[in-house]
Structure 1
Amino acid sequence: MSFFPKPPAGSWTENWPELGTAPVNYEDSIDPEHYKLEQEAIFKKTWLNVGRVERLPKKGSYFTREMPSAGAGTSVILVKDKEETIRCFYNMCRHRGNKLVWSDYPGEEVSGTCRQFTCKYHAWRYALDGDLTFVQQEGEFFDLDKSQYGLVPVRCEVWEGFIFINFDNDAMPLREYLGDFAKGLEGYPFHEMTEHYSYRAEINANWKLFIDAFVEFYHAPILHMKQAEKEEAEKLAKFGFEALAYDIKGDHSMVSSWGGMSPPKDLNMVKPIERILHSGLFGPWDRPKIKGILPDELPPAINPGRHKSWGTDSFEFFPNFTLLFWAPGWYLTYHYWPTAVDKHIFEADLYFVPPTNLRERLSQELAAVTFKEYAFQDANTLEATQTQIGTRVVTDFPLCDQEILLRHLHKTAWDYVNRYKEAKANGNGSGNGASAVTSSEKDHANA
């Protein structure tokens, strides 16, 4: 298993000829019928990250997640049972189908700790392992076997503290699905980084468009120019920005880039508040005192070229989970949860080693708010993109060499849909999209 990307044969794109070089068709981001197919073919059949184990610190801890990407109204409960096993269930009472766990508003996610789950409609009770334990006025039912009416389980597995679920009981195991990238990331000190900041917003754009924005740096010198000092911004605008490496393994991809120096070589490149707090977009400059984050300690998938100027790696685990590492010793995640063909919920979560003093706390807060400003700029641009591609004046768009991972994302999504449609046409209702490696197929509609 090698994490050194293939040497470029004139360009990165040429290393994956199956992706082609023709303009990419964006019907997959504007067609409502295609969106419905993605729900069935992708979000009901792939592993979806729904959080980290720190959200379930003890027996009886639980939280709910709304999953509209897998179908309107779909809701699940994540819980740590008495044996400290993390489980997932559909959030539905088996009596009359009421939502089981919710507070004042049934559409809002909730969390807490309990010994059992009790339906607020008729008080049916369920153990933490999902078993039905109590039925109000049970004697009035007809031959009711409680063992047959437990909560409906959802497949749930954990990798490196990240909790994943899958609505397809026939899907491959999680680690097999995540593949070599995940194997190469194992051992990173995720468990040390429990200081958590999060943002969540509904974006008026297709879910893939936001991923598009985060897998290329071609836009950075232009869109984010105002966040850099004048001299640095002018230099970036003139010469552009090139990443260090790209790599693709099956459904998943990554981009490795320079930047994020800790501290910057030239303090004039950053703003006064960043100089004071030793922090900024790339995170706190002062590395936390933990093992596993120095250059010679990093897992092999991170900074695969072992470049001295390396600053950040972004891993895209299909369909909607981004895991991004920064050289100073912190990481963040992105999630993109589609709610319609032209809308999705964007979640961003930043993770740091807990601060030991006020300066460290403020440096982390500065990184969090700086990131938010950049994300707003991307989101605003994407909403403008959605309005225009929706007119269908043009549907095919040229992509440059730095946009190789955009080609891969849209091809992979098309492949899942095409396999699902073929399976349905052949009478195979499962249409299991996770059973093959998509990057080797050529039946996509992009080229």
Structure 2
Amino acid sequence: MTDRDKTLTDGRKSASAQEILRREGRPVPPAFEMESRRFLGDADIDFDRYTDQAFFDREMDLMWTRTWQWACREDHIPKVGDYYVYDIGHHSVIVLRDKDMSVKAYVNSCLHRGTKFRPGDSLGSMEEIRCPFHGWTWDLSGELKRIPYDWDVPHVKGRDFSLPKVQVGLWGGFVFINMDDDAMPLAEYLAPIPEHLENFDLSNRFIEVHIEKELSCNWKAAREAFVENYHTQETHPQLLLGSDDEGSQYDVFNDHICRMFVLFGVPSPLIDPRPSEQELVDQALTGNRSLMGDDVIVGEGESARVVMARILRKQLGDAYDTDLSRFTDTEMIDVSQYGIFPNAILFPQLSLPMIYRFRPIGNDPHRTLFELLIMRPNPDPHDGGGDAPPPAVPQRLKEEDSFTTIKGFDPILGHVYDQDTGNLRAQQQGIRAARKKGATLLNYQEVRVRLLHQTLDKYLAEG
């Protein structure tokens, strides 16, 4: 850490997350006792990066084709022949379960005349990979199996007509794909996430809710809206009671991985007078009231954070038939939000266990599909729990639709996401109208925004 890194938070009124955790004196996993503070510069970010079609096309050709992206969960393809189609711009990949139960991925394009085997973002099951246009067929291992009237294509015989493969990597129950045959291994790309999140056992989760929201903004602007807590004081003032926006921690681990760490049950310095411990509990349980109810009481001499962790551990464990006793208080309630370049954000904690994904809609730099998944622990069979539920079917929202209408999603939390996404059309329009050439960022609180652009530039330059 350089001297400039160390002084990034000089002048901050709030105690840091690490100072509060040390003061509490309760157990904290090593991954959450560390900081990786970085100064990445202070130059403006050019607005053309959000609007220019040529820049978007370079992203599509030079970045999206060379990065690891999670396509689906293994639960989406549990049986032989199950498939899931992942689209990014004009690129399309079909992920499937082969006969040996391995996971394979192929370019979703017939080698005859190019027709997609299956529609974008579809899933289902098949015994073989068959083109719906003329019936050319491959087996699940990608080997050419049958051509109708093959006497008329003698020039195919002796040629390699197996389907082009796409790299596959598995971690935490996620299926990642990478269209670059020479890409670094997934484990190296994700580091240090697998080490940090080992205790969370993300492979043992099921998708309880899956939301898709259409947005009128660039994919980067959509992602950037969720990587800093700075906007809370203006966009979500109702959350300041139980979440210290100024005291949030921002870590840069490498080009691909960054983190935001936010303590719950700690009020913003903008809240005066300081709320009671009971008020902190009432606010910080937003998003879990369907499980917790409205009668969580803080006892004499107890802190809101200890009470929240204790009750969530019990109630969530009971609700999902699983033992959560191994999790520390900070793993239960605090937000440890990991960013995975280019388009994923992962929340492993038990209180709001979510993952985000941001993808351009088609080849339009002004439209994005934002996905939000809630991933709960699978029932524990040793405690009498049943089978894990199948992944939730996505619920699609148009831009004007509210998150509060989603079945199984806490409406209080839905209102928060309406506030978040409600800013993005205005931001995209303002960027296009601007006479100023770029965005001016905060050095510490918006460092994850800057990291996204610096990493993107490296991929574009190497291309």
Please tell me the TM-score bracket, short chain as reference: 0.7 to 0.9
Stretches of structure 2 that go unaligned for 5 or more consecutive residues are 11-35, 267-276, 295-307, 380-384, 387-391, 393-405
- The answer for the alignment partner of 1:376 in structure 2 is 418
Matched, 1:248 2:252: yes
Q: Could you list the per-position Cα deviations for residues 160-207 of structure 1 after superposition, in whole angstroms to 9, with x for gaps in the alignment?
A: 221111111111111111222333223522233214211112211111
The number of equivalent residue pairs is 381
Conservation of the 8 A alpha-carbon contact between 1:88 and 1:165: yes
Q: In 2, distance between residues paired with 1:351 and 1:119? A: 34
Conservation of the 8 A alpha-carbon contact between 2:331 and 2:350: no
- The answer for the alignment partner of 2:67 in structure 1 is 46
Matched, 1:319 2:342: yes
> What aligned pairs does 1:246-325 form with structure 2 within 5 A after superposition?
246-251=250-255, 252-259=257-264, 265-266=278-279, 268-269=282-283, 277-278=291-292, 285=312, 286-288=315-317, 290=322, 294-296=326-328, 311-325=334-348
Amino acid aligned to 1:333:
I
Identity of aligned residues (%): 24
> In angstroms, what is the RMSD of aligned CA positions?
3.5
Residue 81 of structure 1: CA displacement?
0.4
Q: Could you list the per-position Cα deviations for residues 180-235 of structure 1 after superposition, in whole angstroms to 9, with x for gaps in the alignment?
A: 2333223522233214211112211111112211111111232123xx4xxx75x5
State the TM-score, normalized to the length of structure 1. 0.75
Matched, 1:157 2:169: yes
Residue 112 of structure 1: CA displacement?
1.3
Stretches of structure 1 that go unaligned for 5 or more consecutive residues are 103-107, 297-305, 421-430, 432-447
SS in 1 for 2:433: coil
* 1:170 paired residue among 177, 182, 191: 182
- The answer for the alignment partner of 2:357 in structure 1 is 335
SS in 2 for 1:20: coil
Residue 12 of structure 1: CA displacement?
4.8
Q: In 2, distance between residues paired with 1:277 and 1:291? A: 16
- The answer for the alignment partner of 1:96 in structure 2 is 113
Amino acid aligned to 1:27:
D
- The answer for the alignment partner of 1:81 in structure 2 is 98
Q: In 2, distance between residues paired with 1:177 and 1:272? A: 33
- The answer for the alignment partner of 2:7 in structure 1 is 10
Residue 27 of structure 1: CA displacement?
2.9
Amino acid aligned to 1:54:
D
Q: In 2, distance between residues paired with 1:323 and 1:342? A: 24
Q: In 1, distance between residues paired with 2:56 and 2:116? A: 26
- The answer for the alignment partner of 1:37 in structure 2 is 58
- The answer for the alignment partner of 2:48 in structure 1 is 27
Conservation of the 8 A alpha-carbon contact between 2:85 and 2:94: yes
Conservation of the 8 A alpha-carbon contact between 1:260 and 1:312: no
Conservation of the 8 A alpha-carbon contact between 1:256 and 1:310: no
Deviates more, 1:93-102 or 1:316-325: 93-102
Aligned in 2, Cα 1:311/1:265: closer, same or farther, shift over 3 Å? farther
Q: In 2, distance between residues paired with 1:388 and 1:279? A: 41
SS in 1 for 2:184: coil
Q: In 2, distance between residues paired with 1:394 and 1:7? A: 28
SS in 1 for 2:421: helix
Q: Could you list the per-position Cα deviations for residues 93-133 of structure 1 after superposition, in whole angstroms to 9, with x for gaps in the alignment?
A: 2222222224xxxxx43211121122222222111111111
Residue 413 of structure 1: CA displacement?
1.9
